[in-house]
Amino acid sequence: MQNKEELYAKADILIEALPYIQKLSGKRVVIKFGGNAMLSESLTEKVLQDVTLLKYVGVNPILVHGGGPDISNMLKKLNIESSFVNGLRVTNKESIEVVQMVLAGKINKEIVSKLNNLGAKGVGLCGLDSKMIQVKKAEPVNGVDLGYVGEIVHIEKRLLELLSDDEYIPVIAPIGVDENGQSYNINADTVAGEIAATLQAEKLIFLTDVDGIRMNEADEDSLISAISVDKIYELIDSGIIEGGMIPKVHGCIKGIESGVNRTHILNGTIPHPIILEIFTDKGIGTMVYK
């Protein structure tokens, strides 16, 4: 049996969360979940518990997921070569079929099932549904044709508004569609940023496998807890922010410049990262502001 001090401590935690719950009640929060942050079943469960809790306290979460490691594993099994340019997967005709199968057919439905088992009402979607994520073929990067990689031209937001304003949690796979009905792979960070911007979300959260933005990637103590958009551009130009972090920070910037109040980059490989970041005074990751 717990003693009174432990019970009082739990009460204090709930009271600390109260003003943040009040501020976010009725607001939309877009969460990008993917990559190495999804590899552990137990940690995935804790992230989805966070998402479910948000819905039950009156916040309207929208979950955008990636699945890079699963895609890479499937491509490897099928002996299909895979390469990246600036954190973007080069996707040929053979690869896009695998990408769509893994993202929309496997990972998306697994997440929805787990949310539903927690008592939430998850609804699995990808950009083909109601032409929700409309794209055109992305321009070459550093002279490399990315193949079936899409550049978002429009987010059809009505379906997302209807679901998130009701009792549902939209779960979105980052597959887009062009005017001819062709599917395209899209970076999940970019999708999350565009959706948050279109919906004017209160918050945009990126869950990754690092604590946030560091001044020195190898030094855990160099974490930047809060950073401005201008400073991010400086760190990109100086090479401190590079590789897979670039789409994340661009997603943050897109959100901020389009009216999202705050964006966050968090370590999704620790238990309950969303709750620790947005319902506590100190937070655990990097917050981006204008």
- Distance from CA of residue 124 to its chain's centroid? 15
Strand partners, 137: 150
3 state DSSP class of 268: coil
Residue 9: predicted pLDDT? 83
What order of strands is seen across the sheet that includes strand 150-155?
Answer: 150-155, 133-137, 175-177, 183-185
Residue 172: predicted pLDDT? 98
Residue 64: predicted pLDDT? 97
Global pTM value: 0.90
Residue 1: predicted pLDDT? 62
Structure tokens at 87: 């954190």
3 state DSSP class of 119: coil
β-strands 175-177, 183-185: how paired? Answer: antiparallel
Q: Other C-beta atoms within 10 Å of 188: how many? A: 26
Tens-digit pLDDT string for the chain (290 aa)? 667 888 888 888 889 899 999 999 999 999 998 766 677 888 899 999 999 999 999 999 999 999 888 898 999 999 998 888 877 888 999 999 999 999 999 999 999 999 999 999 999 999 999 999 999 999 998 889 999 999 999 999 999 999 999 999 999 999 999 999 999 999 898 899 899 999 999 999 999 888 888 888 778 788 898 899 999 999 999 988 887 788 788 888 888 888 888 899 988 888 899 998 889 887 788 999 88
Tell me the CATH number for domain 27-289.
3.40.1160.10
C-beta of residue 255 within 8 angstroms of C-beta of residue 196: yes
Q: Other C-beta atoms within 10 Å of 221: how many? A: 7
Structure tokens at 56: 């039950």
Task: Measure the CA–CA gap between 261 and 266, rounded to whole angstroms.
Answer: 17
Give rounded-to-5 percent helix, strand, coil for the chain. 45, 25, 30
Task: Measure the CA–CA gap between 135 and 264, rounded to whole angstroms.
Answer: 25
Residue 23: predicted pLDDT? 92
